[in-house]
Amino acid sequence: MTERVVLAYSGGLDTSVAIGWIAEETGAEVVAVAIDCGQGGEDLDTVRQRALECGAAEAVVADAKEEFASEYCIPAIQANALYMDRYPLVSALSRPLIVKHLADAARYHNATMVAHGCTGKGNDQVRFEAGLAALHPELKVVAPVRDSGLTRDKAIAFAEEKGLPIDVSKKSPYSIDQNLFGRAVETGFLEDIWNAPVEDVYAYSADPSEPRQPDELVVTFTAGVPTAIDGRELSPLQVIDEMNRRAGAQGVGRIDMVEDRLVGIKSREVYEAPGAMALIAAHQELENVTVERDLARFKRGVDQRWGELVYDGLWFSPLKSALDGFVTDANRHVTGDIRVVLHGGRAVVTGRRSEASLYDYELATYDTGDTYDQTMARGFIDVWSMPAKIASLRDQKQA
């Protein structure tokens, strides 16, 4: 029986050409797998048809938007996941989802190989291959762009030679990866890190500096999961979609940064993630209200490590799994409403209310009704400052 290779298929030039290229290179039949994570563009049937026309033995398409929202984006919100305190892991979150579908398809179609179109200097190759090593370690990886010279020029030549149904003439100056949690843009002039992005770079967000009316809404969270907007119960996918739309319309969620890639270099990245940034801001403030101090302090370190692991392609790893347990437990009481004003590129929390609140008006107020026993403070301070005080006395004696 002919060997089979499962290809992560996007519908674009590179992976369309890869179908024939891999078939020639390996002698195997290609099963093209296209996953809709909310990247928009063509409908899945068109994509499927093109794969077949380009020579795929099978073409599998899947609408994974709900799965992506629920199983990947929501945990990121619960972990306030911001790589380097800024980037909400947009692409990094979608890779393990795609990997899972590739591994499933490989099992279903008895494939022995898996192929992707990543280059050799990005993070995504690691995320694909590390994920596959965990989920289906027997698969051999084929990476024609990185390992067998499938450059853009060769892809165009190949497409023309074989008469593939792809328009090779249109050339965007931008390299884009997008899904329902956000959008990443790279392009030549931004590789000079002194250059500012231009408005043309953005697609998910309006210009924040344009005057417009603010938009105010109330997000409801249940155990750290956003479950309603303005009282309307919504699925995770619906919440993210609506927040993208409304926060994007106010210019929220643009990020421009120099980033530490897993492969050892720094790169310039421009992102848009209106919904993600607004939801994380709301979630963080609800944590401030409902999570106890020591837990909150420790969780910052857990959140950071969670984000690094996902960025570093280790979604399917024992540490990620153990951190998930921590994050879920810490979100147990993160239930309540957060009022957010979206305006001028900012998502500003202006109110919070929660049955699980640890904010206690009677303890906090300076008005009458105060129940805090202030006489306790002296003793606290005395003991609290003792270790530093003893050390200070020692230092003075030594000096």
Instruction: Pick the closer one to its own copies by CB: 62 or 356.
Output: 356
| Total count of residues recorded for the chain | 399
Please count the CA atoms within 13 angstroms of the CA of 52 that sit on its side-chain side: 10
Nearer to its own copies by Cβ, of 161 and 362: the residue is: 362
Q: Could you give phi then psi for residue 117, rounded to 5 degrees?
A: -105, 25
Could you count the other beta carbons within 10 Å of the beta carbon of residue 40?
12
Select from 288, 310, 334, 342 the one that contacts its own copies (CB under 8 A). 288
- Tell me, residue by residue from 36 to 65, as one string, x for binding to its own copies by CB under 8 A and - for no binding: ------------------------------
Residue 15's closest CA among 92, 88, 102, 139? 102
Clarify whether 14 is annotated catalytic.
yes
CA separation for the pair 112, 114 (Å, rounded): 7
**140's tokens:** 């051999």
Task: Characterize 159-188 residue by residue with b for buried, 16 or more Cβ atoms within 10 angstroms of its Cβ, and e for exposed.
Answer: beebebebebeeeeeeeebbbbbbbbbbbe
Q: Is residue 124 annotated as part of the catalytic site, yes or no?
A: yes
Name residues contacting its own copies, limited to 73-132 (CB under 8 A). 84-85, 119-121, 125-126, 129-130
Shortest Å distance, C-beta 228 to its own copies? 17
Residue 8 near residue 96 (C-beta atoms within 8 A): no
Q: How far apart are CA 142 and CA 15, in angstroms?
A: 12
Question: 372-380: which pairs have CB atoms within 8 A and are 24 or more residues apart?
Answer: none
- Specify whether 337 is catalytic: no
Question: What is the per-residue binding string for its own copies in 136-165, x denoting contact by CB under 8 A?
Answer: -x-----x--xx------------------
Gap between the Cα atoms of 242 and 217, Å rounded:
11
Q: Is 232 in the site for its own copies (CB under 8 A)?
A: no
Contact status, residue 12 vs residue 132, Cβ threshold 8 Å = no
Question: Is 83 within any annotated ligand binding site?
Answer: no
Is 360 among the catalytic positions? Answer: no
Q: Which one among 153, 171, 173, 196 touches its own copies, defined by CB under 8 A?
A: 196
Determine if 291 is a binding residue for its own copies (CB under 8 A): yes
> Which contiguous run of DSSP H or E holds residue 310?
helix 293-311
189 in contact with its own copies (CB under 8 A)? no
Taking a C-beta distance cutoff of 8 angstroms, is the pair 224, 211 a contact? no
216 marked among binding-site residues: no
| 325 forms part of the interface with its own copies (CB under 8 A) | yes
Cα–Cα nearest to 74, from 276, 228, 243: 276
CB of 123 to its own copies, least distance (A): 10
Binding segment (CB under 8 A) for its own copies, from list 4-12, 17-25, 44-52, 370-378: 370-378
117 labeled binding residue: yes
Q: Considering the complex, what minimum distance in angstroms separates the CB of residue 187 from its own copies?
A: 9
Q: Which of 284, 310, 334, 342 binds its own copies (CB under 8 A)?
A: 284
Task: Determine whether the annotation assigns residue 123 to a binding site.
Answer: yes
Place of tokens 């050892």: 264
Q: How far apart are CA 87 and CA 307, in angstroms?
A: 9
Q: Find out whether 16 is annotated in a ligand binding site.
A: yes
Number of residues that bind its own copies (CB under 8 A): 126
Q: Would you state the structure tokens that stand for residue 22, as one six-digit string?
A: 């891999």
The answer to whether residue 222 forms part of the interface with its own copies (CB under 8 A) is: no
Annotated catalytic residue: which of 36, 124, 303, 337? 124
Based on the shown chain and the rule CB under 8 A, indicate whether residue 233 belongs to the binding site for its own copies: no
Q: Does 223 bind its own copies (CB under 8 A)?
A: no
Is position 147 annotated in a ligand binding site? no
Residue placing its CB nearer to its own copies in the complex, 53 or 326: 326
**Cβ neighbours of residue 226 closer than 8 Å, sequence gap 6 or more:** 74, 77, 219, 220, 234, 236, 239, 243, 279, 282, 283
Instruction: Answer yes or no whether residue 264 interacts with its own copies by CB under 8 A.
Output: yes
Q: 66 vs 316, which CB is nearer to its own copies?
A: 316
Q: Is 344 in the site for its own copies (CB under 8 A)?
A: yes
Closest CB 298 distance from its own copies, rounded Å: 6
Please identify which residue in 3, 45, 200, 260 interacts with its own copies, judged by CB under 8 A. Answer: 260
175 is in an annotated binding site: yes
**Helix, coil or strand: residue 251:** coil
Among 153, 170, 376, 399, binds its own copies (CB under 8 A): 376
Q: Does residue 74 contact residue 334 with C-beta atoms inside 8 Å?
A: no
Which residues are known catalytic residues? 14, 95, 124, 175
- Residues that constitute the known binding site for ATP: 8-16, 117
